[in-house]
A and B are shown apart, each in its own frame.
Chain A
Amino acid sequence: MSVITLNDGEAVFDCAEGDTLLRAGLRAGLALPYECGVGACGCCRCEVTAGEVANLWPEAPGLSDRDRRKGRVLACQSLPAGDVHLKLRLPPQPEPAIRPVRHRATLVASRQITHDIREFVLRTDAPADFRPGQYALLALPGLDRERAYSMANLPNGAGEWHFRIRKVAGGGASTTLFERLAVGASVGLDGPYGLAHLRTDSPRDIVCIAGGSGLAPMLSVARGVAADPALAGRRVDFFYGGRTPSDLCGEADLAALPGFGETIRYHAAVSDPDAAARGGLRGPVGPVHQLAEAVLGERLTEAEFYLAGPPPMVEAVQQLLQVTHRLPPERIHFDRFF
């Protein structure tokens, strides 16, 4: 075990063998800055002022050449070798967070959702404790790096964690999940992580925009609204963007929620016009951010936004909201995995 000292003593925490600086700090209840936890976003950059760390991924895209020149490291990719002193800035008013815990989980069921998305149900002995919209890091057999997947369900005492994972051609993690793991298999599950969770203290209407396996966290957010008596009657506009009609999903899940068709509405768009024509689709064709802009109209500037999906989709929505409509970033919630 190593002792980690932040900013010359502003905080001190223990880091267990094999844990990264980021995860150990979050487990200790510190609001270390981060989003993705897997080396992509760069939010957990820090400086090691004393001691040594091993870098799990020196080429991680979260660090720029300037960062490397300045000797910065990513807390999420650093294993301490002995005691370490770190410099990084803690947020002035951190939101309370659920401390992440390492579990052993068993695959108990899976079912196909679309042609390339499957739901995997894992079970842990301890309750599944997380906020709607958060993710967990799964350690799968045979893979050296853990993968981040978001939960689609709600926290529960039964220890059930539902993931909706898209099969990626040549993707090691999804190939393992889709082809090699059988019911009864054991995997490592570390969580919860992520800051793009449902804010129950905001009085604003809610807009969820999802693409690909971004369905999972957005579904969890919508389910979280429906399940919270304090949010009864809150309007939720749920947008899903797919390339082809066979990619569209989520409507059946939302239809099971009270208020569907009234306070909770589903809107979908297909981006490939040829595929839409071949599939006989009558609905909107085009990028999902254009559909959101058209459907929301003047309500757009008053809403609270949750986003999850492929990087180009998230970037396009961000452009729409922040550049075109000048929404402040505090009202747009997503964890940057790119």
Chain B
Amino acid sequence: MKQLCSTRDVPAGGCHRIELTDRPPLAVFNLDGRFYVTDDTCTHGDASLCDGEIDCDDGVVECPYHQGAFEIATGRPAGAPCSIPLRVYRVEVKDEAIYAAIDETEAACP
């Protein structure tokens, strides 16, 4: 598990981008106190999902450019033109620190 940030870095209903040197950036989401980690780059084009709109009611993030959407918890595409799932990572929270299993390579969703 890799330590990414503190829970205080991610506002409720918001997200926080984590830049890493050896891999594409990650996005940490806070949906009503539950934390999720996904890839930050939209699977449809070169856009940061952390710049997009988060819809807490639907648990969805919308890409800022084409408003394609993904379910944050599963990575499942939730709106055209996105069709390739977003990679999601297993998360653990310990003492306000957020960890993600970024080396696990299981498929994001069926």
Within 8 A of A (CB), among B38-93: 41-46, 55, 58, 60, 64-69, 78-81, 83-85
Q: Are A64 and B107 in contact (CB under 8 A)?
A: no
Q: Which residue of B lies closest to A36 (CB)?
A: B81
Asked whether any CB of chain B lies closer than 8 Å to the CB of A35, the reply is yes
CA A61 to CA B41, docked complex, whole Å: 24
Q: Given A67-B67, A89-B65, are A315 and B81 neighbors across the interface (CB < 8 Å)? A: no
Tell which of B43, B45, B66 has the most Cβ of chain A within 10 Å. Answer: B66
Shortest C-beta distance, B110 to chain A (Å), equals 12
Per DSSP, are chain B's interface residues mostly helix, strand or loop, or mixed? Answer: loop
Q: Are B81 and A67 in contact (CB under 8 A)?
A: no
Q: What B residues does A150 contact at CB under 8 A? A: none
Shortest C-beta distance, B109 to chain A (Å), equals 11
Q: Are B83 and A41 in contact (CB under 8 A)?
A: no
Per DSSP, are chain A's interface residues mostly helix, strand or loop, or mixed? Answer: loop
Q: What B residues does A323 contact at CB under 8 A? A: 84-85, 107
Q: Are B83 and A42 in contact (CB under 8 A)?
A: no
Asked whether any CB of chain B lies closer than 8 Å to the CB of A155, the reply is no
Shortest C-beta distance, B36 to chain A (Å), equals 19
Q: Are A329 and B67 in contact (CB under 8 A)?
A: no
Looking at the complex, which one of B42, B79, B83 makes contact with A67 (CB distance below 8 Å)?
A: B79
Shortest C-beta distance, A312 to chain B (Å), equals 11
Q: Given A66-B55, A318-B84, are A91 and B79 neighbors across the interface (CB < 8 Å)? A: no
Q: What A residues does B43 contact at CB under 8 A? A: 322, 329
Q: What B residues does A35 contact at CB under 8 A? A: 81
CA A61 to CA B81, docked complex, whole Å: 10
Within 8 A of B (CB), among A74-105: 89, 91
CA A223 to CA B75, docked complex, whole Å: 39
Shortest C-beta distance, B27 to chain A (Å), equals 16
CA A62 to CA B68, docked complex, whole Å: 10
Q: What B residues does A336 contact at CB under 8 A? A: 80-81, 83
Shortest C-beta distance, B39 to chain A (Å), equals 10
Q: Which residue of B lies closest to A88 (CB)?
A: B67
A18-59: CB near B (< 8 Å → 1, else 0) gives: 000000000000000101000011110100000000000000
Asked whether any CB of chain B lies closer than 8 Å to the CB of A204, the reply is no
Q: What A residues does B84 contact at CB under 8 A? A: 318-319, 322-323
CA A66 to CA B65, docked complex, whole Å: 17
Shortest C-beta distance, B60 to chain A (Å), equals 7
16 residue pairs bridging A and B, Cβ less than 8 Å apart:
A33-B65, A41-B81, A62-B80, A64-B69, A66-B55, A66-B58, A67-B79, A91-B65, A318-B83, A318-B84, A323-B84, A328-B41, A329-B43, A329-B45, A336-B80, A336-B83
Given A66-B58, A336-B81, 6 more pairs with CB closer than 8 A: A62-B80, A67-B67, A319-B84, A323-B84, A328-B41, A336-B83
Binding site for A on B (CB under 8 A): 41-46, 55, 58, 60, 64-69, 78-81, 83-85, 107
